[in-house]
Chain A
Amino acid sequence: MTVDLEQFLIVGALLFCLGLFVALSKRNAIGVLMGVELMLNGVNLTLVAFARFSESDAPVAGHVFVAFVLTVAAAEAAVALALVIAIYRFRETIDIDKLNLLRS
């Protein structure tokens, strides 16, 4: 019994696609943010799998990239949730179907 690169890539791809579905289909702004986090996790899993399995001079580059993705994800989550709270304060809703102020 062996586990190879392909299996990890398939799990990462499925995680990414589930996240994409959540991000595109959820009505709640926080739900959309959860989808984005799932997508980032799928990509991170793929990067670490490549760092472990692929033939490379500097496999640590994959880990460095994942560390940066984690940093940017933390910054993104903080700003996005502050935006959600600010939008709720002004519009009394975070339903993205009702946030159509820019539609003339």
Chain B
Amino acid sequence: MTLPKDILRDLYKTMIIIRFFEESLVEPILKREIHTPCHLCSGQEAVAVGLCKALSKDDYIFGNHRSHGHFLAKGGSLKALAAEIYCREAGCSRGRGGSMHLIDPTVGMLGSAPIVAGTISLAVGAALASSIRKDGRISASFFGDGATGEGVLYESMNFAALKKLPIIFACENNLYATHMPIRECRVNRSICKIAESFGIENYEVDGNDVLQVYDMAKKAVGVCREGNGPVFIEFLTYRYRGHVGPDDNIHGFHTDIRPREELAHWLEKDPIQRLERFIRESHIMDEQELQSLKREAGEEVRDAKSYAESSARPRTEEITNYVFA
């Protein structure tokens, strides 16, 4: 069954905004206008966008070091994100957090942090809060394949399963934990099966197909809302850029870890092009509509960046503000 046009339009628009925004950071990073470590998510947009589209505004998410996409997909302000990346007072974290600490509680984006797996237990706690209050909210935890090396993931899965907490463990498997290919980190390539031993429903999904991601996420949300959580989903995906910064970690570049053929293979599965192709082939939008969405997205990104660049830096006399509430 084909999704309604407005949903497809939203999925497409949010994905291209994320892509345009991430790629717009490349030049300022290289020119050292941006210093905060940016872990770009180009190539992985479909996971954030498809999953967040299945959540309601009141539901909670927690991100990680690579969370520009999660923040935007959950409804965070593009201007506030851009300003945070320029470490300005108008940023979502008032320039105290930078790229790795993105938050907007008003849309359920409860935070992100670069300690690998560090926010998984926090997301479980937000789900615990919902279950104590019986408020029907669910919680999603975004983490990467690298986080499967951290013990707290297993503690969190066990506790969530014991208490049947409404949480989606969303593992974005992009095949690399910083520089380490997954085969050097894990004996068993299948990640979602780790949830099996905790009695957690688990699935492997093509994370580069936003329609499959959305479909799977809706099912998982349903399971959690009915009190039958948690659900563990492994999304297979790939990042086009380096672990941090624009350097693409492809053979021939100085970090030199990923084969060119591998990148080429994944570029063919580009999540945005796939959705665009689907939209064209099913005549949901015509070329003109697609182009105008792209134009809009481009303008929004440019506006946000110029807003960020021209906005004020934090005041030095306020350095110790926000240590305590």
Say whether A associates with B: no
- B residues sitting closer than 8 Å to A (CB atoms) are none
